[in-house]
Structure 1
Amino acid sequence: MKLIYTGKTKNVYDLEDGNYLLKFKDDVTGANGVFDPGANTVGLTIDGVGKAGLRLTKLFFEVLKEKGIPTHYVDANIDEATMIVKPAAVFGKGIEVICRYRAVGSFLRRYGSYCEEGQPLDAFVEVTLKDDAREDPPITKDALVMLGILSADEYEVLKDLTKKVGNIVREELAKKGIELYDIKFEFGRVGEDKQIVLIDEISGGNMRAYKDGKYLEPLVLEKLMFE
């Protein structure tokens, strides 16, 4: 295997059969030792969080497969904390798409004079650029199109997929009495037809979830989901 990318929470290897292998780490994003799914730096290391994140990711990707949602997922090995995926080209230098159901995190920091903490939101979709130096700035549809990052039609596909996947994850969590506040996704283009698919992971490390009004850390979330 050839290492082709070293990320904050996982490394990417090139397999000889044309697929990629993702190796999940025990690092999570945050600052000053506090976990924050919206942060763009590694804040702390939590033993076992890599396997826990992959276990949850595998669960969600297999549910999405059953529902006909396109993803890059091929297979996963929980014991080795690895996932095999189809290669995908990212939009520009990478974008993240957030689906928000309640006003928390950066949404509350930006718009707090117009809303209260935890205020319900109607699956609000926003896009940010993956740019650590500029702290992952939010970007509008018009700017994405003008800068050639994606087309207007692709944006609508992205927005629609984000809401569909977000609602599926939300429904799965609700089965365990867990409420999803927000979730961060990544998408890419796969194959010659450049189909837009969900990539990366769906784990406690990229969402805020609560039970009985209490925030759930990634390992606690994974434990509750598999009880």
Structure 2
Amino acid sequence: MTAYTLGSLLYEGKAKRVYQTDQTDLVAVEYKDDATAFNALKKAQLAGKGLMNCQISARLFELLEREGIVTHYLSLQEPNWMLVKPVQIVPVEVVVRNIAFGSLCKQMPIEPGTPLDPPLLDLYYKDDAYGDPLLTDARLERLGVLSASQRQELEHLAMAVNTSLRRFFAEIALELVDFKIELGFTTDGQLVVADEISPDTCRLWDRNVSGDAQERILDKDRFRQDLGGVVEAYGEVLKRVQAACPPPRLGK
């Protein structure tokens, strides 16, 4: 285990707390049991959710690492803590869609369940006060948060993540419908995948379930739609990920 001293709280979001440590190249992330939806208008406490998301994220970050995709992840700290590199988060939420569902079908004349080939990549301005609006090219240029080359790098990285995750989830009988990721710059200017990769951020359908569409849902939609069984669904995802991935490393 890495020897470090926990410092002050740097940031608290809807699902995680980020703490400074006594090492400049290391921050500690605590995954919370808080569940939120609709920009935190809906809230609940789900026992064990933080631990499961942390465990899933650690394994998926290591999966991406093995495939040459750089992330902020360093190691897992039991039971629901993670050590990561400090990054400056880009205030742009990246959403990649493989199948049309959710908000997309409310914004466009497209039927839920329609395959999207090639996948659709959307960028949103990450700010709850403005409702995380969809960014056009002109709006992104106006904000000035990314240069043209950085945007190209961001989109290339997001699509590489999609390819890796979609292939992996298919191997464990899960359909990656869509997902959102956050990216950030390390202190040396490298763009990396950050935040988390979990049923909170991925829409996942069970390929082993046919018939009732609601029964196949193994992600945050169970909470959004009041379907129940949220913790059980996350647990099923963790079980499959654990079976297909080696144990995550402990310590830095």
TM-score by length of 2: 0.80
Number of the residue aligned with 1:145? 141
Q: Secondary structure at the match of 1:226?
A: helix
Alignment of 1:1-227 (within 5 A): 1-18=7-24, 19-30=26-37, 39-41=38-40, 43-79=43-79, 81-91=80-90, 94-111=91-108, 114-121=109-116, 122-192=118-188, 194-211=189-206, 212=209, 213=213, 214-217=216-219, 218-227=234-243
Letter in 2 for 1:220: E
2-side partners of 1:99 and 1:78: how far apart?
Answer: 30
Per-residue Cα deviation, 1:50-102 (whole angstroms, up to 9, x for no partner): 111011111111111111111111111132x11111111122xx221011011
Letter in 2 for 1:87: P
Q: Secondary structure at the match of 1:101?
A: strand
Task: Let me know the Cα RMSD of the aligned residues.
Answer: 1.4
Number of the residue aligned with 2:228? none
Structure with greater Cα Rg = 2
Letter in 1 for 2:241: M
TM-score by length of 1: 0.89
1-side partners of 2:164 and 2:217: how far apart?
Answer: 20
Number of the residue aligned with 1:36? none
Return structure 1 stretches of 4+ with deviation > 3 angstroms. none
Identity %: 32
- Between stretches 167-176 and 210-219, larger displacement belongs to 210-219
Asked whether the 8 Å contact 1:96–1:128 carries over to 2, the reply is: yes
1-side partners of 2:150 and 2:235: how far apart?
Answer: 34
Asked whether the 8 Å contact 1:29–1:205 carries over to 2, the reply is: no
Q: More strand per residue: 1 or 2?
A: 1
Alignment gaps of 5+ in structure 1: 31-38
